[in-house]
Amino acid sequence: MKSHGQNPFSVTGKLTTTPLPLLNLLSYLFFFVFGLTFGIIFCFHYKSFSFNLQVTNGQFSIFTTRSLVNNQPSHLTISSSTPNFDTPRRSIEVRWSGLNEMMSEEELLWKASMIPKIKEFPFKRVPKIAFMFLTRGEVILAPLWEKFFKGNEGLYSIYVHSDPSFNGSEPEGSVFNGRRIPSKEVLWGNVNMVEAERRLLANALLDFSNQHFVLLSESCIPLYNFSTIYTYLMNSTQNFVESYDLLGPVGRGRYSNRMGPTIKIEEWRKGSQWFGIDRDLAIEVVADKHYFPVFQNYCNGPCYADEHYLPTFVSMKSGATNSNRTLTWVDWSRGGPHPSKFIRTDVTPEFLMKLRSGSSCEYNGRKTNVCFLFARKFTLDALDRLLRFAPQVMQFNR
Ligand SMILES: *[C@@H]1O[C@H](CO)[C@@H](O)[C@H](O)[C@H]1NC(C)=O
Ligand SMILES: *[C@@H]1O[C@H](CO)[C@@H](O)[C@H](O)[C@H]1NC(C)=O
Ligand SMILES: *[C@@H]1O[C@H](CO)[C@@H](O)[C@H](O)[C@H]1NC(C)=O
Ligand SMILES: *[C@@H]1O[C@H](CO)[C@@H](O)[C@H](O)[C@H]1NC(C)=O
C-alpha cells in the first residue's frame, strides 16, 4: 500500500492494456488541443498589451505599449499635428511619438525614472545633449538652430512641447521635424508649465544617451557654436538652475503657509525657469512625488511655479552641485512682468559680443566670462540679421 501510494504514475498501470502507440497519439492530441486553446485565450487576453525591450543604434528604451484596439488615448492630448506615413523617415518618428502618445503621464514619468544598475553601457554610448523647446507654436528661430546643429548629428536630441492647438508642421528634413512630444495646454504662470517641463524631461530621459538636458523657449538663440556649448555642458561639474532667496512680494511673498511642513519658508527659492541639468538631477525631478504635489496644490496663479519649483527643489535636494545661475541671458532692465524683446535693429555684432562675454561668473571653480550660452527673447524679424552675423560672431563654421 505504502509503495503503491508513493508512485504517482501507478494509475498508468491500469492502462497498459491500451496499445502504446495509440496512447501516445491520444496524449499528444490532448496536449496539442489544450495548448492551442490556452494559446488562443492568452492571445486574446493580452492582445492589447506588449512589453518590448529595444536596443537600436545605441539607443536603449523600454516600451510598454497598448494597442489602439482596446484603449482610448485617454490621458494625453494627442498633438493635433498628425504626422503622415508617406516617407520612411517620418514613419520612424511616428512610432517614436506614437508610443508615447499612448502612455499615461504617470507611466511616462515612471519609465523615465529608471536607473540601470549596471553602470557600463553594453554599447558605445556617445553622450548627447537634449535640447528641449517649450513653445506655443513653432520654434520661431528654427533656421538659426538648423545652422547651429548642422554637422553635429549624433551629439544632440531635440524635443518640442508646443500648445496642443498648434497644428503647423515642420518642413521635411528639418531637425525639428517629428520631434514634438504629446503636449497639454500651458498657461502663463500656471503650475502646468512645470508639468510640461517634466514631460519634456521624461521624454528625453527615455533615450539613455541623453546626458545633459537644456530647457529653451521658442525665442531663444544660441550664443556659441555647437562644439563650445557641448564641451561647456559635458565638462561642467555643476548644474545650471538659477536659485536664490529673495525677500519681498515677488520672492518669499509667493510662499504659502499651506506648503509647510514639507517646504519651509526659509527653503523657498526663486530663479529663472530656463535650466541646464545633468541626467542624475533630471531623474530626481521626474521622480519627485514629494515636493511637486505641494506645488500642484498650493502654487497656482500668481505664485508662478515655474520660477520657484526647480530653484526650491534643487536647492533642497542637490544644492551643493548647483551653480545657482542660469545659462540663458535675458534683459529684465526695462521692468514689468515680461523681459525685453529684441527686434531686427537691436541685433548687431557688438550686441551679440556683449551677450557672449560681457559678464563674469564661475565655471568649475574658476572665473570666466563665458556665463551665458543662450539668450532670449528674439523676434522673427531679427532672424535674417542673426543668420548673417552667426557665422562670424558665433563661429558657426560648418
Ligand atoms: C490650424 O488652426 C487654425 C486655427 O488655429 C485654423 O484656422 C486652420 O484651418 C488649421 N489648419 C489646419 C490645416 O488644420
Ligand atoms: C574637459 O576639460 C578637460 C580639461 O579640464 C579637457 O581636457 C577635455 O577635453 C574636456 N572635455 C571635452 C569633452 O571637451
Ligand atoms: C548654491 O546654493 C546652495 C544652497 O542652495 C549652496 O549650498 C551652494 O554652495 C551654492 N553654490 C554656489 C556655486 O554658490
Ligand atoms: C567654435 O567656436 C570656438 C570659439 O568659441 C572656436 O574655437 C571653434 O573652432 C569653433 N568650432 C567649430 C567647429 O567651428
Q: What are the tens digits of pLDDT across the range 157-216?
A: 999 999 999 999 889 999 999 999 999 999 988 999 999 999 999 999 999 999 999 999
In testing the pocket of ligand 3, which one of 236, 324, 325, 371 has its CB within 8 Å of the most ligand atoms? 324
Tell me, using a 6 A CB cutoff, whether residue 152 lines ligand 4: no
What one-character-per-residue DSSP string does 20-79 give?
A: HHHHHHHHHHHHHHHHHHHHHHHHHHTTTEEEEEEEETTEEEEEEEE-TTT----SSPPP
Query: What is the residue with the minimal CA distance to atom 14 of ligand 2?
Result: 231
Enter the pTM of the model. 0.78
Q: What is the dihedral of CA 162, 168, 172, 178, to 10 degrees?
A: 30
Is residue 199 within 8 A of residue 161, CB to CB? The reply is yes
Q: What is the Å distance from ligand 3's center to 147 Cα? A: 35
Query: Identity (one letter) of the amino acid at 294?
Result: V
Q: What is the dihedral of CA 212, 166, 195, 234, to 10 degrees?
A: 10
| Site of grid cell 488615448 | 73
With 80 as the cut, is the pLDDT of residue 96 above it?
Answer: no
Query: What is the residue with the minimal CA distance to atom 1 of ligand 2?
Result: 235
Is residue 155 within 8 A of residue 234, CB to CB? The reply is no
Q: What is the Å distance from ligand 1's center to 165 Cα? A: 9
Q: What is the Å distance from ligand 2's center to 324 Cα? A: 22
Of the candidates 242, 298, 302, the one whose C-alpha atom is nearest the C-alpha of residue 269 is 242
Tell me which DSSP letter residue 340 carries: P
Strand partners, 63: 52
Q: Alpha-carbon distance 285 to 288, whole Å? A: 5
Tell me, using a 6 A CB cutoff, whether residue 312 lines ligand 3: no
pLDDT digits (tens, 9 = 90+) for 232-272: 999 999 999 999 999 999 999 999 999 999 999 999 999 99
**Nearest bound ligand to the CA of residue 365:** 3
**Nearest bound ligand to the CA of residue 311:** 3
Tell me, using a 6 A CB cutoff, whether residue 237 lines ligand 2: no
Tell me which DSSP letter residue 391 carries: I
Is residue 290 within 8 A of residue 236, CB to CB? The reply is no
Question: And the C-alpha cell for 213?
Answer: 538636458
Give the position, in ligand 2's atom list, of the atom nearest the Cα of 235: 1
**Nearest bound ligand to the CA of residue 136:** 1
Of residues 89 and 390, more confidently modeled:
390
Strand partners, 111: none
Cα 257 from chain centre: 31
Q: Alpha-carbon distance 31 to 316, whole Å? A: 61
Tell me which DSSP letter residue 394 carries: I
What pLDDT sits at residue 8? Answer: 40
pLDDT digits (tens, 9 = 90+) for 102-114: 688 999 999 999 9
Is residue 160 within 8 A of residue 130, CB to CB? The reply is no
Phi, psi of 179 (to 5 degrees): -100, 10
Query: Identity (one letter) of the amino acid at 175?
Result: V
In testing the pocket of ligand 2, which one of 230, 235, 236 has its CB within 8 Å of the most ligand atoms? 235
pLDDT digits (tens, 9 = 90+) for 300-354: 878 999 999 999 999 999 999 999 999 999 998 887 778 889 988 899 999 999 9
What pLDDT sits at residue 23? Answer: 57
Q: Does the CA dihedral 187-140-240-242 come out positive or negative?
A: negative
